Structure 1
Amino acid sequence: MAIHFHEEDLPSAALFGPGPIAVDTEAMGLHPGRDRLCLVQLSDGSGDEHLVRFSPGSDYAAPNLKALLGDQGRLKLYHFARFDIAIMQYYLGIMAAPLYCTRTASRLVRTYTDRHGLKELVRELLGQDLNKQQQTSDWGAPEINDAQRDYAASDVRYLHGLKEKLDQRLAREGRTQLAQACFDFLPARALLDLAGWDEQDIFAHV
């Protein structure tokens, strides 16, 4: 297992196996437009993680990264897809779908708890403990230290395994089709967020 660190784009020689690719982002905050995208993390589930860091003032050109994320034939795995695809749409100009969101799947099948964070999911379903100490660190700093890199990599390290476990539970509870409908809607939900309807339910009666 290795963590590969890149500046501004994936190198053309970066190899990813076939099948789903796990994706996560780190930003200066949770508001696209105000808070800039700093890091995109990727893993094909083979054991290596790739981190792409964007500097202040970046033009976010990243042609290799965009080609990978924009591939409509490759499923992208997220933990909180709503935010990740929104901020990548804003800065990279692509909708990184089709997608699968482990947090959404968890909410559909782990109805016995209100704890749907990645740390809780990984502990319960995979028996691993995640160190979340770097979650609120400065991702815009001039240097990303080793602890930050390992934290960022861990956010995509377990998504393939979580999907396998969550798919089993979705099938068991008869909610596979419902989950897929939610995943299919998430790009529209992200676009609504970016357009200013992030705090409003436009489907509500009042």
Structure 2
Amino acid sequence: MAVHFYEEDLPSTDLFGDGPIAVDTEAMGLRPGRDRLCLVQLSDGSGDEHLVRFGPDSDYAAPNLKALLGDPNRLKLYHFARFDIAIMQAYLGIMAAPVYCTRTASRLVRTYTDRHGLKELVKELLNGDISKQQQSSDWGGPELNDAQREYAASDVRFLHRLKEELDRRLAREGRTELAQSCFDFLPARARLDLAGWDEVDIFAHS
């Protein structure tokens, strides 16, 4: 198990096996139209994590990364897909779909709690532990330290296993089809965020 680090792009798309790929991002903040994309993390679930860092002067060309994320035949696993796909659309110019979101799945089946963070999911469903200490650190600095790299890698390390457990619970509660409908809508939700409807429920009566 190893963490691999690259500047500006993946060296090749052949680093990954077939099947779903776990994806996460780190940025300067949580506003895709304002805050710069700094890092994209990926894992195919085989044990290695791959981190692609973008500098402040990046043109975000990244042809290999875009080819991987833009593949319509490869499922992408996220924890909070709404943000990740929005900021990648804003900076990379791609819609990294189709989508599976573990946070959305958790909200549909873990209705006995309001704690749907990745740390809580890993603890309850996988009996594991991850540190969120670096969550609010400066991802745009000239270098990423070892703690930041490990934090970033851990954000994609567990998503394949979480999907398996959440899928079992969705099936048990009869909400698999509903979850898929939510996942299918997430690209549109991200586009609404980018277009200025991030705080507005356009389906509401008032």
- Which category of TM-score, normalised to the shorter sequence, fits these structures? over 0.9
Distance in 2 between residues matched to 1:15 and 1:54, nearest whole Å: 19
The amino acid across from 2:56 in the alignment is P
Question: Matched residues in 2 for 1:14 and 1:143: separation?
Answer: 26
What stretches of structure 1 move > 2 A for 4+ residues in a row?
A: none
- 5+ residue gaps, structure 1, are none
Partner Cα separation in structure 2 for residue 112 and residue 15 of structure 1: 39
CA contact 2:22–2:156 (8 Å) conserved in 1 = yes
- Percent identity, aligned pairs only, is 85
2:130 is aligned to: 130
Whole-angstrom CA distance in 2 between matches of 1:57 and 1:199: 30
Q: Give secondary structure in 2 for the equivalent of 1:178.
A: helix
- Report the AA paired with residue 173 of structure 2: E
User: TM-score, length-normalised on structure 2?
Assistant: 0.99
Q: Deviations over 1:72-117 (max 9, x none)?
A: 0000000000000000000000000001000000000000000000
Matched residues in 2 for 1:33 and 1:79: separation? Answer: 20
Structure-1-length-normalised TM-score: 0.99
**CA, structure 1 residues 105+99, in 2 after alignment: closer, same or farther (shift >3 Å)?**
same
Separation (CA, whole Å) in 2 of partners of 1:27 and 1:13 = 23
Matched, 1:79 2:58: no
Secondary structure at 2:23 match in 1: strand
Within 1, Cα distance between the matches of 2:189 and 2:71? 20
Unaligned stretches of 5+ in structure 2? none
Count, aligned residues: 206
Match of 1:107 in 2: 107
**Native 8 Å contact 2:13 2:67 kept in 1:** no
**RMSD, aligned α-carbons:** 0.7
Amino acid in structure 1 at the alignment position of 2:45: G
Aligned to 1:15: 15
Is the CA contact (8 Å cut-off) linking 2:81 and 2:101 kept in structure 1? yes
Distance 2:142 2:183 in 1: 35
